[in-house]
């Protein structure tokens, strides 16, 4: 009976290719405004992620940055509440629309609540 009450929680994963030398810092300390200033290369102070469950954009940036790919796993309810409206069309590749998620500094405290892992590839 108890197992019937347990509901499966769907998780959304978003992906970030950190600039060289920033991957471990973002993993350890989370996303901080100081790491995303309002000047180049960030311009708007936001943190850009490859969209839900599609690493391809992050993989492309990682070819240049070569500091791994940071994966952040967010439960569906919180993703829909805080981040879904921040999805934008990035481009199209292999007949699939690719989405990026542009997270402003004001949502970094929310973003930092979710587990993240840095993968070498």
Show me where the domains of the chain are located.
2-119
pLDDT of residue 5: 47
pLDDT of residue 1: 44
Ranking 13-22, 60-69, 77-86, 91-100 by mean pLDDT, the lowest is: 91-100
Percent of the chain with pLDDT over 90: 79
- Tell me what the mean pLDDT of segment 57-73 comes to: 96
Read off the tokens for 90: 């990035």
Burial class (CB in 10 A: 0-12, 13-18, 19+), 113: exposed
Give the pLDDT band of residue 7 (cuts 50, 70, 90).
low
Enter the pTM of the model: 0.88
């Amino acid at each position: 009976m108890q197992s019937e009450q347990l509901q499966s929680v769907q998780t959304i994963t978003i992906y970030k290719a950190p600039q060289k030398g920033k991957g471990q810092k973002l993993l350890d300390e989370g996303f901080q405004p100081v790491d995303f200033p309002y000047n180049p290369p960030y311009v708007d102070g936001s943190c850009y992620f490859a969209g839900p469950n599609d690493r391809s954009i992050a993989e492309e940036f990682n070819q240049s940055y070569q500091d791994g790919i940071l994966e952040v796993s967010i439960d569906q309810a919180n993703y829909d509440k805080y981040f879904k409206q921040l999805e934008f069309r990035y481009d199209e590749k292999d007949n699939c629309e690719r989405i990026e998620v542009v997270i402003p500094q004001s949502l970094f405290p929310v973003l930092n609540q979710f587990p993240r892992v840095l993968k070498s590839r």
